[in-house]
Structure 1
Amino acid sequence: MPNPTPRKSGDLHVQAVTSEIQHYLQAKTLPKADGIASGTARFIIEQQSNISQVTNKFEADNSNVAPDLTLHLANGDVVCVNLFKIRPKRVIQPKNLGAKSFIAKYFGSASLQSEFNDYFAKVYRQFLLDSANRIVGDVSNEATERELKRLLKESCPKFTQELEEFRSKLLYELREKCFGLFLDEYNQASETIEKAFNSLFMNDSFNVITQYDGERLKGVKEFKIDVHEIKNVSISKVGSNSVGITADNITLLIRFKFESGPDSAIKLATSYATPKAENKIAQDNARSLQQFNDALSVTHKPEGGKANSNAIGKCSEAIFYAQLLKVNPNVIQLDNHAFIEMFAKYSPDITATEFEGIRATSVGAVDGLSAFLKEKHGDFKIDSIELVPDAYLDNRLNTADIELVLRVGDKYVTEPISLKAIAKATNTINCKNPGIGQILGNTYFDLRQEELNGTLEALKETFINDDAGRSRTLECLSGNIGKQLANAVENEPQKLIKGTKALLGSALVVVVYYADNKYAVLEHDFSITKVQVHRDTPSLIQNTLSWSHGGDQVRLRVKFSGGQSHCWTSIKLACAYTFAKERIRSNV
C-alpha cells in the first residue's frame, strides 16, 4: 500500500517539490526561483522540458525503493529524479545499501556476494555472541541468531561503551573483506568496479541537490559523475570502516554502519568526497612525523630493570611505521595519529638504550624491507599504510602489525607485515601458540583432532599432579601429535604443508634485533614444498618439522599453561621457528 505520510525533512521536501511541479502543470506558471521547494521545482522544470505528469515515491507500492520523483514527459520518456536537501558544505549520501545484497545488485557478481555473505554470517554471529556475553553473561554458543538479537534488544537496545570494541571490530572486519574482494575484481580488469561506480552515483537518474540555510535557498544544481575507463579508477581504504572508489577528482565512499542499535541491520552508507592532492598528503604526513618527533622527548624508565617485551614491541611498531612514512612521504595513512598515540602510551616503559637501539635498527630494517619488496615485485609504489589494531584481527593466522597496499604496475598488492623486536640476534623466533584442541583441527593440520581430544580426556581423568604425572601427560599428547604428523608424510603431505604454513602465519616477518643493530626479512610460506617430521625431537614433549633441506624448522613443544601449583591447566603448544643464520643482516 502507498505510504502518504512523510516524516523526515527530506520526505517533506519531496512532497513540497511535487506540489510545486503539479501547480505548474495546472497553471503553466513557473514556480518562484527563491524558495527552497519552488526553486528546486523550477530548476527541474527548466532542465526537463515537456513534463506531462509527476508522481512521488509516496504514491508507489514501496517507497523505500522508488525514486523520489518520477517525471512522465510528453514524448513518452520517463525520468527518475532523486532529491537531496543539504546545508552548505555538506555532502550528499547517494544510497544506503543492504550489506547482504549490495555486491550482487551494484557490482553484478553473485559469486562475490555469496563469498561476502558467508564471511558476514560468521563474523556477525561472533559479534552477537560477544556482545550478548558482555551484557548478559554466560550465553550458550548454540544460541540462534534470532535468540541473540532478542537478548540484545531486551538488555541493550542502544550501543554503549561496553559494546564499542565489538562494534568497531565487526565493521572493520567487514570493510577488510569488502576491500579484498574489490581489489581482486580490480586486478582482473573486470568492469564491475566501473559499473558499480556509475550505479551508486545514480548516473541513470536526474539527481538534484538543493542547498539551504534555515529557510533560505542557497542554490540548486545537478549532481552527475561519470567514469568511462577502468584505468581511471582506484580503490582505497578510508578510515576504519569505509572503502573508497576514486575516479579522477571524485571518491565514492562506502561505509559500513549499524542502522541503529546492536540488534539492528548492517547497512552501507554511500557518500562522496574530493580526494586529497598529493601535496596535501605530503603536508599531512610531515605534520604527523613532526608530532611523532615531539613525542620522542618522553622520559624513559631507568636502565637496568627487567625488559618490558610488550612495550618494546609496541614502540618498535610505531618507530618502524614512522620510518616507513619518512622514506615514503606521499603514502596515504588510514590513521594519522595511531602510531603517535601508540608510542606515547608505551615509550615510558622502555629504557633510553632500548629506544635508541630500536630507532637506529629500524632505519636499516626499512631499507631492507624496501629492497626485499623491490626484488619480489619489481617497481612498486606504496599506496597506503595502516597500523593494524590487535583487536580487529579476525584471521589469527595473519598476525600483521602493519599493512601496506602497493601499486605494482596496474595491479594492487597487499603486504601484511609482522614485526618482532628482539634484543640479541638469533635465528630462532616464536611463531604461533595454538591450543591442544586446535593443532590437529582444520585451522592447522586438519588431521584427526578427535583422536587427540580422546587422548586428552583419558589423561585428564587419570591425572596425578606431580612431576611424573605432568611429564607423562605431556609426553603422551606429544606422542599422539608426532604419530599423526609422521603418518601424514606419506598419506597426506599437503596437510603437513598447510599446517606448517599456518603455524608460521601469512604475514611477511621483519625482525628488529635492536641491541645488535641487525634485522631479518622473512617470507617463508611460498618455499615450502615438502615437510619432514622428526618425532620426539629434541625431547619427548617435542616434535620438529623441517623443510628446505633442514634449513628451516618449526619445533612444537607441548606445555601446561599454568605451573604445578595450579594442578590441571589448559594445554597448548609453544612453537618456535628456526631459519638460516645467513638471513640475518647487519646495518654496520
Structure 2
Amino acid sequence: MPSKSDSAGKLHQYFTALTLKQVYPESQLQSPLLDEIERNSHLSLFSDDNIASLKHIGDLSANEIKKHIGEDNVINIEDIGIASGASGFRNTDDLEITTDSNKVIAYSLKCATSISQILSKNMGAKSLISSYFSSPKHQEEFNSYFEEARLCFLNKFFDGNEKSINLLSKHINSHANKNGVSKARFTDFPHMDDYRDVFLRTLRDCLMDKINDIEKSKLSDAVNLILDTNKNHIIAVYGRKNSAKYSRVKDKNQHDIVSVYSRGNDSVVINTGDYEVGFRYKFESGITSSIKLVGDYKKLMV
C-alpha cells in the first residue's frame, strides 16, 4: 500500500497530465495511472473532497506548464513520476513534455497541504554522506557509529547485551509475534519511545559533526540536490486552499552556505540565507525497521 503523501504526488502528476491532454488534444499521453487498478490504489486513500482538490491543482499546474511552454504545440505528455529516481537520485523529473519541434521540457511536481516545508527526497541513512556530500571517508565513519548506536538502541528492548543486530531483530520480532502483533511497533512497546529519541538525536549529532568537517563546496552540492536547482518546478498546495506556481531555483555555491545547525531531535539543517535545507532521520515503520532520511527545504523570508 503506497503512503498517502506518495499517492498525493502521483495523483497530482496524473491529473496534471490529464488536463494537459485536454489542452493539447492531438498529443499522446503516457501514464502508469491510466491503468484503473493502479489509479484506484492511490485514489482509495483520499476522500471525495481531497480527490476534487487534487484534480483542481492538476488543472492549475497544467495552466502553469502551458504558460511556461508558450506558443509551442505539444505532441507527447509522459507521466514518468512513478519511476522517477529509479535510474539514480539525480533523476527527479515527474513530467516530460515534447513539443512539435522535438523540444523536451521536464518538470518536477510537488504537492502538499502546506508549502511551509517541502519534502524533497527520501535517502538512505548509510549512503547520504557519500552520495550527496561526495565524502566516502565521512560516510564510513558515520556508518561505523551508526551500527554501534543501533545495536545499543535495540538492546534496550530486552535490556540485554546482544552482539548481532540481525539476531537481536529476530528476537524482538518473535517476541512481538508471541504478543499478538505482526511487528514490533513503538505503539505496542512504548518503553522504547525514549530510547528512540536518544538514538535519533545521536545520529543527528554525528551527522552534524561530519557535515561540519566537510568543505563547503560539497555542502553546496548536497544543497543543490535537495533544492533540485536549475530545474522546472511546479509547487502546489491542495486541501482548504488550492494553488500552483512555477518555480526555478538557481544553483548554490560554497559562498551561499551560511551555517549548519540542529533542528528538533532528529534533523540537521544547512542554511543558505534564503533556504533552510534539512536532513531528518526517521524509522521506516517499526522498532527493527531500517532508518531513513528525508530531505526537505523551506523558503526563508529575507
Q: TM-score range by the shorter chain?
A: 0.7 to 0.9
**What is the one-letter code of the residue matched to 1:227?**
K
The Cα offsets for residues 344-397 of structure 1, whole Å up to 9 and x where unpaired, read as xxxxxxxxxxxxxxxxxxxxxxxxxxxxxxxxxxxxxxxxxxxxxxxxxxxxxx
The residue correspondences of 1:441-520 to structure 2 (distance < 5 A) are none
The residue correspondences of 1:86-165 to structure 2 (distance < 5 A) are 86-88=112-114, 90-131=116-157, 133-134=158-159, 141-142=162-163, 144-154=164-174, 155=176, 157-160=184-187, 161-165=190-194
Distance 1:276 1:255 in 2: 22
The answer to whether the Cα contact below 8 Å between 1:14 and 1:68 also exists between their aligned partners in 2 is yes
SS at match of 1:192: helix
Unpaired runs of 5+ residues, structure 2, are 28-54, 177-182
**1:196 correspondence with 2:239:** no
The answer to whether the Cα contact below 8 Å between 1:79 and 1:205 also exists between their aligned partners in 2 is no
The answer to whether the Cα contact below 8 Å between 1:17 and 1:38 also exists between their aligned partners in 2 is yes
> Taking CA–CA contacts closer than 8 Å with sequence separation of 6 or more, which of the two structures ends up with the larger relative contact order?
2
SS at match of 2:117: coil
Distance 1:75 1:38 in 2: 25
Distance 1:222 1:275 in 2: 15
Distance 2:218 2:6 in 1: 36
SS at match of 2:185: coil
- Mark the CA change 1:59 to 1:267 in structure 2 (over 3 Å): closer, same or farther: closer
**What is the one-letter code of the residue matched to 1:18?**
A
- 1:126 Cα deviation from its structure 2 partner: 1.7
The answer to whether the Cα contact below 8 Å between 2:84 and 2:94 also exists between their aligned partners in 1 is no
Distance 2:85 2:65 in 1: 24
- 1:253 Cα deviation from its structure 2 partner: 1.4
**1:40 correspondence with 2:64:** no
For the aligned residues, what is the CA RMSD?
3.1
The residue correspondences of 1:68-83 to structure 2 (distance < 5 A) are 68-73=94-99, 78-83=104-109
- 1:38 Cα deviation from its structure 2 partner: 1.3
Distance 2:299 2:13 in 1: 27
**1:18 correspondence with 2:21:** no
Unpaired runs of 5+ residues, structure 1, are 29-33, 278-588
- 1:261 Cα deviation from its structure 2 partner: 1.3
Distance 2:301 2:265 in 1: 18
- Mark the CA change 1:92 to 1:231 in structure 2 (over 3 Å): closer, same or farther: closer
The answer to whether the Cα contact below 8 Å between 1:251 and 1:272 also exists between their aligned partners in 2 is yes
**1:57 correspondence with 2:77:** no
- Mark the CA change 1:98 to 1:111 in structure 2 (over 3 Å): closer, same or farther: same
- Mark the CA change 1:96 to 1:172 in structure 2 (over 3 Å): closer, same or farther: same
Aligned residues: 258
**1:9 correspondence with 2:34:** no
SS at match of 1:177: helix
- 1:213 Cα deviation from its structure 2 partner: 2.8
Percent identity between the two aligned chains: 23
The Cα offsets for residues 61-101 of structure 1, whole Å up to 9 and x where unpaired, read as 94996632233455555444221122245421111211111
**Which residue does the alignment assign to 2:30?**
none
The residue correspondences of 1:525-564 to structure 2 (distance < 5 A) are none
**What is the one-letter code of the residue matched to 1:82?**
S
**Bigger CA radius of gyration:** 1
The residue correspondences of 1:78-477 to structure 2 (distance < 5 A) are 78-88=104-114, 90-131=116-157, 133-134=158-159, 141-142=162-163, 144-154=164-174, 155=176, 157-160=184-187, 161-186=190-215, 190-214=216-240, 217-222=242-247, 224=249, 226-230=251-255, 232-273=257-298
TM-score between both structures, scaled by the size of structure 1: 0.40
- 1:25 Cα deviation from its structure 2 partner: 3.3
**What is the one-letter code of the residue matched to 2:207?**
C
- 1:7 Cα deviation from its structure 2 partner: 7.4
- Mark the CA change 1:84 to 1:185 in structure 2 (over 3 Å): closer, same or farther: same
**Which residue does the alignment assign to 2:32?**
none
Distance 1:94 1:60 in 2: 12
Distance 1:73 1:116 in 2: 46
SS at match of 2:214: helix
- Mark the CA change 1:119 to 1:80 in structure 2 (over 3 Å): closer, same or farther: farther
Distance 1:63 1:43 in 2: 27
SS at match of 1:171: helix
The answer to whether the Cα contact below 8 Å between 2:219 and 2:254 also exists between their aligned partners in 1 is no
- Mark the CA change 1:184 to 1:249 in structure 2 (over 3 Å): closer, same or farther: same
- 1:39 Cα deviation from its structure 2 partner: 1.3
- Mark the CA change 1:220 to 1:60 in structure 2 (over 3 Å): closer, same or farther: closer
- 1:123 Cα deviation from its structure 2 partner: 1.1
- Mark the CA change 1:7 to 1:107 in structure 2 (over 3 Å): closer, same or farther: closer
The answer to whether the Cα contact below 8 Å between 2:64 and 2:244 also exists between their aligned partners in 1 is no
- Mark the CA change 1:241 to 1:210 in structure 2 (over 3 Å): closer, same or farther: same
- Mark the CA change 1:82 to 1:61 in structure 2 (over 3 Å): closer, same or farther: closer
The answer to whether the Cα contact below 8 Å between 2:230 and 2:251 also exists between their aligned partners in 1 is no
Distance 2:272 2:185 in 1: 37
- 1:120 Cα deviation from its structure 2 partner: 1.2
SS at match of 1:191: helix
**What is the one-letter code of the residue matched to 1:53?**
N
